[in-house]
Amino acid sequence: MGLVAAEGVGLLEHAHGFRFGIGGAESNVAIGVSRLGGRATWVGRIGPDATGDLIERRLRAEGVHTVAIRDQAYTGLMVRHRRTGALTTVDYHRAGSAGSRLGPADVPVDLLRSAAILHVTGITPALSDTARAATFQSVETARAAGVTVSVDINYRGKLWSRYDAAPVLRDLVSRADVVFGGPDEAALVLGADEAVADGLAALGPGEVIVKDGPRGCTGLIAGERFALEALDVTVVDPVGAGDAFVAGYLADRLAGAAPAQRLATAVAVGAFAVTVPGDCEGLPFRADLAALLSATDDVAR
């Protein structure tokens, strides 16, 4: 999507300036993985407009292999503003957009079968019936080829109701090998506030990672339990932290790192992301992570 972000804090109508860029969970993860040295491919539909041009150029510039299908519909947009210092509001303009017209035939079968990991989110199935079909068909094609399936639940209440989302997201999680979600998202999928990691693992995934923002994360990976605290950083923009976390975990998984290291990298990438404005602009490179973890001063000379 295109991203229109108001500068400053307060009512949108009083904003004195706006920043225009790109956003979206899947593109954030793809860029994050690429910056950390992994190979990533993004597949989606974009419109015949300047916003679509920007998305394609930005992804390619970040080293992401980009399968951008041009559609006659407009590219989707989100408008974001910080109502208070602690509350960010996001409005979506995606109904009828190019992204909502994604269909099963848009995702190359050979690309799926040759992947190491297929990563999808619970956002795409919310966009339309065809986008939902594309998501599930891609997952089944990957599973049949022995490809690891990663799912970030990513429930968006402005795109669909909890009633409509719950069974679809539960079905999606049950087909995953790796699943990410917050405590509230896990409760939505499970239908109750039970031990979320155990409940999600009972649906089938062998790796369950519960992202809990400033409270850190917990994981249940191949039967082993993990718990990591969040890093103490100054938060500038909390949006995109979850996507950054996922990118860190998947990049290290691709690199063959052990579960504890994957989670440590995920926490560090998420922490770095919130110190910079924007969805993907501030995602770190490996050298940035080393500097974050070893910094003793606020100036690098």
243 is an active site residue:
yes
Name residues whose C-beta falls within 8 Å of residue 287's C-beta, 6 or more positions apart in sequence: none
Name the band, by pLDDT with cuts 50, 70 and 90, for residue 297: low
In the block, residue with structure tokens 């039970």: 194
CA pair distance 139, 174, nearest whole angstrom: 11
Sign of CA pseudo-dihedral 144, 146, 152, 153: positive
Residues 206, 179: contact at Cβ < 8 Å? Answer: no
Name the band, by pLDDT with cuts 50, 70 and 90, for residue 254: very high
Name residues whose C-beta falls within 8 Å of residue 100's C-beta, 6 or more positions apart in sequence: 73, 76, 94, 127, 128, 130, 131
Q: Where are the alpha helices (DSSP H) in 23-94?
A: 25-35, 50-61
pLDDT at 12 over 70: yes
Q: What is the pTM of this model?
A: 0.93
DSSP for 206-262, please give it.
SEEEEE-GGG-EEEEETTEEEEEPPP----S--TTHHHHHHHHHHHHHHTT--HHHH
Phi, psi of 200 (to 5 degrees): -65, -40
pLDDT at 299 over 50: no
Output the six-digit token pair for 29. Answer: 């993860």
Tens-place pLDDT, residues 147-181: 999 999 999 999 999 999 999 999 999 999 999 99
Output the six-digit token pair for 61. Answer: 């510039």
Q: Which of 59, 135, 62 is nearest to 99 (CA)?
A: 135
pLDDT at 274 over 60: yes
Tens-place pLDDT, residues 25-72: 999 999 999 999 999 999 999 999 999 999 999 999 999 999 999 999
Q: 120 in helix, strand or coil? A: strand
Name residues whose C-beta falls within 8 Å of residue 211's C-beta, 6 or more positions apart in sequence: 180, 181, 182, 217, 242, 245, 270
DSSP for 8-19, please give it.
EES-GGG-S-EE
Name residues whose C-beta falls within 8 Å of residue 228's C-beta, 6 or more positions apart in sequence: 216, 217, 218, 263, 264, 267
* Integer-rounded Cα radius of gyration of the chain: 18
Active-site pick, 71, 152, 237, 243: 243
Mean pLDDT estimate for the chain: 92
Tens-place pLDDT, residues 186-195: 999 998 766 7
